[in-house]
Structure 1
Amino acid sequence: MKERLLISVCGRAGSKGFANKNLKNFCGHPLVYYTLSAAELFAKAHPEVAVDIALNTDSDLLADLVAKEYPEVVYLPRGEELGGDSVPKMRVFQDTLARMEERTGAPYDYLMDLDITSPLRTAADVENAVAKKRSRPDLDLVFSVTEARRNPWFNMVKDAGDHVEQVIHSPFTARQQAPAVYDVNASIYVFQRDFLASNTDGMLWSGKIGVSVMMDTGIIDIDSEADYLLMEAIGAHLYAHNPAFAAVRDNIRG
């Protein structure tokens, strides 16, 4: 029997930080198409896995944009109870999982979420995250990270009133001596189905978590106009000079 993977693509209408960011064009294509292209490349490379893709959104415009070129993506209209900034994204993942299992009549093994506002991911980034989870049944969740440029044991400080102090007091004299740390970049999440379905607090940290490391440009996501302009400049460079990134762009439909 094939493993079953649900890929979720989640986006709210509007945005306080950057209005209608999920509807923007990015380097000549709709932003959401980069995520759908990466999902399609994974599905094509893994015929042994039964893959469904679902869009969970309260934006009719985003739903129409996706349906125009990716009609196979299942549209799940998001209810008002899942709108707003304070709703944990875990709740949206759970809603997507429950509705798709009801629709298909069978449980999934994993849910993988690919964030719309993190377009600079390669097919290998998706492959690596899924492979890590499939090879580690003891992990409840694998998410993507980038190597941090700063380390709280070595070269980060915190406000202590009239002065600053090390975030974590340590005797380390070189960053290489400190524990490795990562920036969580929110690009890729791969959940074990039962961990996601049974979560009650909306938090990730109650599970046993593994990481999949991406190129450090992947730390940036689009949450403001400045982010968008910077990401486009980086994207244009990567699409011109890095075949792995260009492959995702070139696979976009339309």
Structure 2
Amino acid sequence: MKQSILAIIPARGGSKGVPRKNIKNLAGKPLIAWTIEEAKKSKFITRLILSTEDEEIIKVAKQFDCEVPFTRPMDLAQDGTPGIDPVLHAIEQCPGYDYVVLLQPTSPLRTVEDIDGCIEMAIKHHANYCVSVTEPEYSPFWTYTIENGYLNPLIKQDKITPIRQDLPKTFKLNGAVYVAKVSAILQEKSFINSDTKAFIMPTNRSMDIDTELDFEICESILKKRRES
């Protein structure tokens, strides 16, 4: 039986790191367009919608043929709004789906293969949750806090391993794809728990735009990708 899947692109108007970043031109098109276009290629997504409070973002999304069935309430578009709240609101506004997929527009390097790979893993394993991860640039085994001026290892070890290849493999959330059964997320109100499957993505498709430097790096990568 085919699963019905609602995909949500959350894109509020406010942004401190890169002002108006969701509609800022990135390698020839608005940032949000990169996510819309890849999501529309998915063989699993039943319905793709945008969640925003911003009229200009709505206009841009519609130009790229993305449905905007509602305007997000302002109290769900603040700096301190938990990321899960707009997802729960969207599910409430668009009920009747088996799975929900969260696609943040700040991951423009993510491809439809990543989106469908994460969805497929969730369905294949009958998982309540599946999220995309990647290997971190720096191992947490080489990370420290400082207490009274002295280094304090974040992860306690009997002996510091000097060679990166000898360290245990670790992974971090990359923010690109979040998948959940609707029934499960309405109950847990989180994509991350002990029941979450990991979908591993390559580092070169895992950048999350938070600063102007991130934006410039992504633009360079996308231009090279287009040329090749």
TM-score higher than 0.5 here?
Answer: yes
Structure 2 residue 48 is matched with structure 1 residue 60: no
Q: Could you say if the C-alpha distance between residues 214 and 205 of structure 1 is closer, same or farther in structure 2, counting changes exceeding 3 Å?
A: closer
CA distance in 1 between counterparts of 2:206 and 2:110 reads 10
How much has 1:175 moved relative to structure 2?
3.9
CA distance in 2 between counterparts of 1:95 and 1:182 reads 29
TM-score (normalised: structure 1)? 0.82
Q: Could you say if the C-alpha distance between residues 40 and 204 of structure 1 is closer, same or farther in structure 2, counting changes exceeding 3 Å?
A: closer
Paired amino acid for 1:148: P
SS of residue paired to 1:212: strand
SS of residue paired to 1:111: strand
CA distance in 2 between counterparts of 1:142 and 1:50 reads 15
CA deviation string 1:131-168 (max 9, x = no partner) = 1111121x322111111232223x22222221112211
CA distance in 1 between counterparts of 2:15 and 2:196 reads 29
CA distance in 2 between counterparts of 1:121 and 1:82 reads 26
SS of residue paired to 1:3: coil
Residue 132 of structure 2 corresponds to 144
Paired amino acid for 1:189: Y
> Alpha carbon RMSD of aligned pairs, Å?
1.9
CA distance in 1 between counterparts of 2:82 and 2:74 reads 14
Residue 221 of structure 2 corresponds to 234
The within-5 A match list for 1:8-87 is 8-42=8-42, 46=43, 49=44, 51-70=46-65, 73-87=67-81
Residue 212 of structure 2 corresponds to 225
Residue 95 of structure 1 corresponds to 89
| Percent of aligned pairs sharing the same letter | 25
Residue 120 of structure 2 corresponds to 131
TM-score (normalised: structure 2)? 0.91
CA distance in 1 between counterparts of 2:206 and 2:64 reads 28
How much has 1:176 moved relative to structure 2?
4.2
Structure 2 residue 169 is matched with structure 1 residue 180: yes
Structure 2 regions of 5+ residues with no counterpart? none
How much has 1:177 moved relative to structure 2?
4.4
Q: Could you say if the C-alpha distance between residues 118 and 178 of structure 1 is closer, same or farther in structure 2, counting changes exceeding 3 Å?
A: same
CA deviation string 1:184-211 (max 9, x = no partner) = 11111011111211235xx444451111
Paired amino acid for 1:113: L
Paired amino acid for 1:96: A
CA distance in 1 between counterparts of 2:60 and 2:90 reads 19
Q: Could you say if the C-alpha distance between residues 110 and 233 of structure 1 is closer, same or farther in structure 2, counting changes exceeding 3 Å?
A: same
CA contact (8 A) 2:102 2:178 kept: yes
Structure 2 residue 156 is matched with structure 1 residue 161: no
CA distance in 1 between counterparts of 2:52 and 2:114 reads 24
Structure 1 regions of 5+ residues with no counterpart? 102-106, 242-254
The number of equivalent residue pairs is 226
Residue 209 of structure 1 corresponds to 196
CA contact (8 A) 1:63 1:75 kept: no
Residue 179 of structure 2 corresponds to 190
Q: Could you say if the C-alpha distance between residues 226 and 150 of structure 1 is closer, same or farther in structure 2, counting changes exceeding 3 Å?
A: closer
Residue 251 of structure 1 corresponds to none
How much has 1:5 moved relative to structure 2?
0.4
SS of residue paired to 2:120: helix
Residue 111 of structure 2 corresponds to 122
CA contact (8 A) 1:146 1:185 kept: yes
SS of residue paired to 1:74: coil
Q: Could you say if the C-alpha distance between residues 231 and 50 of structure 1 is closer, same or farther in structure 2, counting changes exceeding 3 Å?
A: closer
CA contact (8 A) 2:39 2:45 kept: no
CA contact (8 A) 1:54 1:76 kept: no
